[in-house]
Structure 1
Amino acid sequence: MSTAGITPTTRRRFLSILATATAGSAATACGAAARRTTTLRYQGWTGQVTLPELAQDLGHLGRVDLRWVGNTISGPQDVQSAATGQVDFGGAFNGAVVKLQSTGAPLTSVIGYYGTDKESYTGFFVPRNSPVKGPRDLLGRKVGMNTLGGHSEAVLDLYLQRKGLSEEEAKRTEPLALPPVNHEQSLRQGHIDVAALSGIFRDKAQAAGGLRMVFSDHDFLGAFTAGTYVFRDDFVKRNPDTVRDFTAGIARTIEWSRETPRDQVIDRFTKIIQARRRNENADAVRYWRSWGVAGKGGVIADQEFGTWLAWLEREGQVPKGKVRSGDLYTNEFNPYAGGGSRR
């Protein structure tokens, strides 16, 4: 894929657009959320099975029924769709959730759904003969990732920060949003210098050879839950039982996935994809290794927001003291939290 027609978009421009769009559509969201329901509208991911989809197939969602409205490749876009009432819940990297909530979006995270561990991680790859070997070599380089303002960009920034680069130096890197399926090809053809790869895209690229990983999020952050599912606050107020059933079902499904042999989980994924008939194939699910969720049942830990809140404050994207991490999420609907609440 050629990147000649792509205009570089800075992270601040993206986040500004995100905030403006959220504020401008608040009235629409109020009307969409002003209802009681056990049916949850959501976005999926092509060729993948999300935790809610697996939970529904396993019968873990109780009275809750899911209604698929389309697909996304962007966590920030997904949670904005929740904020504006286009869907009833969305999931994204916690840093993107913090940023969106700091603009006044009335959202609360209820459960962790993906993260980083030794099996599931994002690696930043270069061609084997690339001169990029360390943090300072990344300055001035084009770094391909699935979306701006998400997990990969935050990890890149935090890596540069922790390796001693100044904020001005870190700005010299050039994050570029590309469809994940094009990352490896763009890297090998020299259209980007570095590619953030995870899951099937990472494993396929490594199997093909000729690439080298400079660093991964797991290298310097260890295991952590990276993303959460969010609901609008007014939706939660009107539908607490629905949110409770959803959260409990996801929690149970996370633990089912830990306890079930990997080949059986993948077999379940394959059957779900074949049955839903969305004109896709199930090849990607063969590369599933784990959800990467750190807390039992997806229980949210304060540091899983605090790490990214501190980063956003340092970057000037969230005013210091405006947001408190404990106000951004709740464990009250999660049975693995023992009934404790963070609200």
Structure 2
Amino acid sequence: MKRKTVQGWAGASLTLLLGSSILLSGCGASAATDKESKSDGGLEVKELRYQGGVGSATFPELAEDLGYLAPLKLKFVGNTISGPQDIQATVTGDTDFGGAFNGAIVKLIAAKAPIKAVIGYYGVDDNTWTGYYVLDGSPIKTARDLIGKRIAVNTLGAHHEFVIKEYLHRAGLTPEEIKKVTLVVVPPVTSEQTLRANQIDAAALGGVLRDKALERGGIHPLFTDQELFGNFSAGSYVLTDKFIAHNPNAARKFVEATAKAIEWARNTPREEVVARYVQIIEKRGRKEDASTVKLWKSTGVAGKGGLIADKEFDTWINWLINEGELQKGDYKAADLYTNAFNPYLNEK
């Protein structure tokens, strides 16, 4: 499968990334290594650095707004649209936590990144899923019709790439044929426009961006991730092993607060959740459009409070084994995540 981007998971680049992370973790002035900083309540750090998303609110941001995270505070360092980039930033010490598709986490750990998944934060359910859309009237009707075509995705090495390749595999395409399907990195907010302008042949659209596109009409899904995999938590937040070892109380506080925020969003009337998200976006004063969060429908998270299940990593471990990127027995799900900090562990 072709990839039209400078981003990716090239071995040499990842080797350099991990090499730089060793230097940064050894001498960087990050929250994870500031042993002098002590927070109230026995917390080892006062703030957690993170990346956000334009026009959206994350569960840690919701946790802070609801007061669950206090006395810890979040420190915004920038926005990202890429899960792999987000967890790479955590490895290099530029942030204290990051989130990505579980398959991307497996790949980064397999490249010897010292991270562990600690809580699920997004997924697929009856209200929250991603479709892979084509224009009405498009000649693309089946997986085989995608050979030689271009599909817009938000990043490579993550959720969309795994789902697309699984769809093509299940349809019987050979590895050589799959390589002829080109993935083009396009910011999610412009994917619909790019599709309608015939600059690409199909586009991954999920959540509020999908719903807004469907309101305008003229598109339909070729397939969806829910059709392929059912309901499941798809991605997790990660912390580095070093952060957990040096800041166990802060790690626990982060997971507990995020877990409570997930459950608040799951059990609170939708209108109230949406209003809170809009309030968060407007209050931070970044001149963002908050209209997309008004179409929010559900958390998409399968486990209570973001509890992670073995199957949510086993699926992608087995997928990578079948792809020839891992050997059988290299990893088991329990090695890649922990629910130890989650307050809902004993309620599952």
Q: Shared fold (TM-score greater than 0.5)?
A: yes
- Alignment partner, residue 3 of structure 1: none
SS at match of 1:220: helix
Distance 1:152 1:15 in 2: 18
Match of 1:306 among 307, 310, 314: 314
Aligned residues of 2:48 and 2:73 also touching (Cα < 8 A): yes
- Alignment partner, residue 46 of structure 1: 54
Q: Answer yes or no: is 1:8 the counterpart of 2:8.
A: no
Q: 5 Å matches for 1:45-84?
A: 45-84=53-92
Deviation at 1:138, TM superposition (A): 1.7
* Identity level (%): 48
Residues 217 and 15 of structure 1, relative CA distance in 2, 3 Å threshold: farther
- Alignment partner, residue 158 of structure 1: 166
Match of 2:27 among 31, 42, 53: 31
Q: Answer yes or no: is 1:172 the counterpart of 2:180.
A: yes
Aligned residues of 2:115 and 2:239 also touching (Cα < 8 A): yes
Q: 5 Å matches for 1:228-243?
A: 228-243=236-251
Instruction: Kindly provide the amino acid, as one letter, of the partner of residue 120 in structure 1.
Output: T
Match of 2:263 among 255, 261, 271: 255
1:238-288 deviation digits (Å, cap 9, x = unpaired): 111111011011111111111101010000011111111012121111111
Aligned residues of 2:151 and 2:200 also touching (Cα < 8 A): yes
Distance 1:15 1:308 in 2: 19
SS at match of 1:125: strand
Match of 1:181 among 183, 189, 192: 189
Residues 154 and 30 of structure 1, relative CA distance in 2, 3 Å threshold: farther
- Alignment partner, residue 120 of structure 1: 128
Aligned residues of 1:44 and 1:68 also touching (Cα < 8 A): yes
Measured on the aligned residues, the alpha-carbon RMSD in Å equals 1.9
- Alignment partner, residue 110 of structure 1: 118
After TM superposition, the structure 1 stretch with the greater mean CA deviation from structure 2, 110-119 or 319-328, is 319-328
1:145-185 deviation digits (Å, cap 9, x = unpaired): 11011111111111222233232222221111111122111
Residues 93 and 61 of structure 1, relative CA distance in 2, 3 Å threshold: same
Deviation at 1:23, TM superposition (A): 1.9
Aligned residues of 2:18 and 2:91 also touching (Cα < 8 A): no
Aligned residues of 2:151 and 2:203 also touching (Cα < 8 A): yes
- Alignment partner, residue 41 of structure 2: none
Distance 2:345 2:13 in 1: 32
Give 5+ residue unaligned stretches, structure 2.
35-43
Instruction: Kindly provide the amino acid, as one letter, of the partner of residue 60 in structure 1.
Output: Y
1:273-324 deviation digits (Å, cap 9, x = unpaired): 1111012121111111112000111100011111111112222233433222
Q: Answer yes or no: is 1:274 the counterpart of 2:270.
A: no
Q: 5 Å matches for 1:190-269?
A: 190-269=198-277
Q: How many residues align?
A: 334
Q: Answer yes or no: is 1:20 the counterpart of 2:19.
A: no
The alignment's TM-score, normalised by the length of structure 1, stands at 0.93
Match of 1:100 among 104, 108, 124: 108
After TM superposition, the structure 1 stretch with the greater mean CA deviation from structure 2, 26-35 or 277-286, is 26-35
Give 5+ residue unaligned stretches, structure 1.
1-6
SS at match of 2:4: coil
Distance 1:8 1:57 in 2: 39
Aligned residues of 1:167 and 1:315 also touching (Cα < 8 A): no
SS at match of 1:156: helix
After TM superposition, the structure 1 stretch with the greater mean CA deviation from structure 2, 86-95 or 201-210, is 201-210
Aligned residues of 1:332 and 1:339 also touching (Cα < 8 A): no
1:4-42 deviation digits (Å, cap 9, x = unpaired): xxx82498x534355224222122134343234131000
Deviation at 1:85, TM superposition (A): 0.4
Aligned residues of 2:50 and 2:96 also touching (Cα < 8 A): yes
Aligned residues of 1:63 and 1:245 also touching (Cα < 8 A): no
Distance 2:221 2:108 in 1: 31
Residues 34 and 111 of structure 1, relative CA distance in 2, 3 Å threshold: same
- Alignment partner, residue 284 of structure 1: 292
Instruction: Kindly provide the amino acid, as one letter, of the partner of residue 207 in structure 2.
Output: G
Instruction: Kindly provide the amino acid, as one letter, of the partner of residue 291 in structure 2.
Output: D
Residues 339 and 206 of structure 1, relative CA distance in 2, 3 Å threshold: closer
Distance 2:244 2:17 in 1: 19
